[in-house]
Amino acid sequence: MALPQIEGYIVAEKLGSGSYATVYKAYRKNGPRAVVAIKCVQKAKLSTVTIENLLTEISLLKKLKHPNIVEMKDFFWDDKYIHIVMDFCAGGDLSNLIKQKRRLPEKTCKRFLQQLASALQYIRSQNVCHMDLKPQNLLLTSRTNPVLKMADFGFAQPMKSSEHSSSLRGSPLYMAPEILLTKSYDAKVDLWSVGVILYECLFGRAPYSSGSLDELLDKIKTHAAIDIPSGCHVSAVGQDLLTRLLQHDPTVRIDFPEFFAHPFLDLQHAPDEDSLEKATKLASEAVQADQEQNHLLAIKLYEQSLLFLKPLFEAECDPSKKSGLQVTINQYKRRICELKQLTGGSAAAATLLRNADGSFEELVRLSVSTPELHSALQIGAVAEQYECERNFTLALERYQACLAILIAHLSREVKGSRRQHLLHLQVKKWLKRAEVVKAMLDMPEDELSALDLKDNCWMQ
């Protein structure tokens, strides 16, 4: 079939098609030869509902500007078609990637979820509910180290957090139960969809995958249990987020502020255009503290800088920039180890660092009345000691054991309480430490030796 003629563009290939629209890859004829995607909508096939959806999509894409949302660059029409010119995403959609890989590593899932959450946080700030989040509507910018972009706002609608709606919108496999069962819902339906997407990324299928619509509806109506497939390892913090997203009762489901603050996402340190500036500022303050021989503060500031640099390094595509970031990261790590030696050895360094602001002791005191929580904190303290002694295998085991308990308790803590706040901070801290210890276990012995760790703690 011949490719269409679109004024101002050279159409290269067909990317996909639906019931009333076809998407093409194209190049601008004039100016920079930028590649774009053009959605060509046949006017003759438009019903009243599809016209409304299309107008909604155009209206929203005109005003929504975010690095993780597909940008509409232009739209125009002729006697037969409406043309919407958008970003071209060379990596296809997330659904195809899942089919190719069967399941994605948790690290990759976390990166994509950070990007999806960033886009979701932005549209919530605009009081927009997407209503049709699914892997097919999440596009990837490239095949190597892709950036995820939210797309297809045809079912989206303005909705404040306090507002409810009753219209049937979305795709059944990713649709929140309350849409189908009660016909009354709020913006938290998007969070259920995020949970289904995360589940599918981790395990290769949606939690309620079914052979027919009737089977799917029966699972939803009966609140069929959602289980973690056997043989699949997911971190405790990842399981916690997944469980809290996939709550059938929207009043029990995690809310947006809790989701955006969840330690699995760690949105605060997600790589963006300001990450390098933030890392550099913290490193400058660390150098100043180092020069003033305030070793404890210098360690803390170097570590905070690394929290921004590590995700930036993982997301960087330019080999030269990536190499430069690696050099900087290694320099900071070495200096942290040297400073810890100056603080008086492994056990003293662990104690000093954990107690630098007194929050750990306060949390321990607040947990005396909860034996399981109190014991888990002691296990975490032991994990720190093993880490300082470079016994990384035992350190990781202890971190994982204490985090499984702490994260479960965190979900049950009274919101806004002092203990909840301190527990949240401690969980984030030990999650980072566990990630670093795991990285140490994966590091070749010659690289590990080159870091000259001796008896010092390996911090983030």
Positions at the binding site for ATP:
39
Interatomic CA distance for residues 170 and 168, integer angstroms: 7
- The string of DSSP letters for 219-260 reads HHHTT----PPTT----HHHHHHHHHHS-SSTTTS--HHHHH
Q: Which of 74, 78, 87, 132 is catalytic?
A: 132
Binding-site residues from annotation: 39
Beta strand segments in 88-137, E:
128-129
Is 216 in a helix, a strand, or coil? Answer: helix
Residue 21 neighbours by CB under 8 Å, 6+ apart: 39, 40, 41, 42
Token code pair at residue 264: 């699995």
- The string of DSSP letters for 293-329 reads T-HHHHHHHHHHHHHHHHHHHHH---HHHHHHHHHHH
Q: Please say if 152 is a catalytic residue.
A: no
Q: How far is CA 448 from the centre of its chain?
A: 29
For residue 341, the surrounding DSSP H or E stretch is helix 319-342
Q: What is the largest CA-CA distance in the chain?
A: 79
Q: Does residue 318 contact residue 292 with C-beta atoms inside 8 Å? A: no
Kindly state the DSSP code that residue 104 receives in the 8-state scheme.
Answer: -
Residue numbers annotated as active site: 132
